[in-house]
């Protein structure tokens, strides 16, 4: 921004915001590269992309000499990135939905788990099944459970881990 300002003043021509516009679009392009869709169809990197873009905008504000705005936005950005992350974890920890990556010993164990979910009035929203290899009888499933009321995810994962036929459980 300071370079563009200098060019504009020195040669009495040009648009002083032109370079800043290119920074915004360039950082937007780089930020888009940090957004990934995982094998389990989860989107990762949105916060990183937003943080990159916001940091570039703060840098432009500092470059043009708008220190008050840069400090205010920097403080707000810091609070948003820390406070809202904690709030997000609390909300997700006790939500009605639980997305899991699980490994079962065999197909029958998966069938028993699905039956148990039905008996406990837990709805299976999504289910993706893969087999890890030809020699293994294990079955890997990525699934989303929907509970009737808010449920503590840590307690539910502990309970599910103890079920027979379940080899591995992790929350996504």
Q: What digits encode the pLDDT tens for the residues 98-125?
A: 889 999 998 889 999 999 888 888 898 8
pLDDT at residue 39 is higher than 80: no
Q: Which of 135, 128, 123, 96 is nearest to 110 (CA)?
A: 128
Give the pLDDT confidence score for residue 41 in this predicted structure: 67
Q: How far is CA 131 from CA 13, 52, 95, 100, in A?
A: 65, 38, 29, 16
Neighbours of 71 (CB within 10 A): 13
Give the pLDDT confidence score for residue 36 in this predicted structure: 87
Res. 74 pLDDT band, cuts 50 70 90: very high
List, edge to edge, every strand of the sheet that includes 97-104: 123-130, 139-146, 97-104, 166-171
Give mean pLDDT, residues 15-31: 86
Mean confidence (pLDDT) of the chain: 87
For 47, the token pair is 């916060």
Q: In the chain, pLDDT over 90 holds for what percent of residues?
A: 21
The C-alpha angle 45, 83, 59, rounded to 5 degrees, equals: 60
């Amino acid at each position: 921004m300071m370079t563009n300002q200098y060019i504009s003043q020195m040669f009495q021509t040009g648009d002083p915001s032109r370079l800043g516009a290119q920074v915004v679009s360039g950082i937007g392009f780089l930020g888009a590269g940090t957004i990934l869709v995982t094998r389990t169809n989860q989107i990762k990197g949105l916060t990183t992309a937003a943080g990159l873009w916001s940091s570039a905008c703060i840098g432009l504000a500092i470059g043009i000499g708008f220190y008050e705005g840069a400090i205010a936005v920097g403080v707000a950005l810091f609070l948003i990135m820390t406070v809202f992350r904690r709030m997000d974890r609390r909300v997700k920890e006790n939500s009605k939905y639980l997305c899991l990556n699980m490994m079962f010993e065999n197909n029958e164990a998966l069938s028993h788990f699905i039956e148990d979910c039905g008996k406990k009035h837990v709805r299976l929203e999504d289910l993706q099944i893969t087999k890890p290899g030809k020699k293994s009888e294990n079955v890997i499933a990525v699934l989303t459970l929907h509970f009737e009321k808010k449920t503590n995810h840590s307690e539910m994962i502990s309970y599910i881990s103890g079920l027979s036929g379940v080899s591995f459980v992790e929350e996504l």
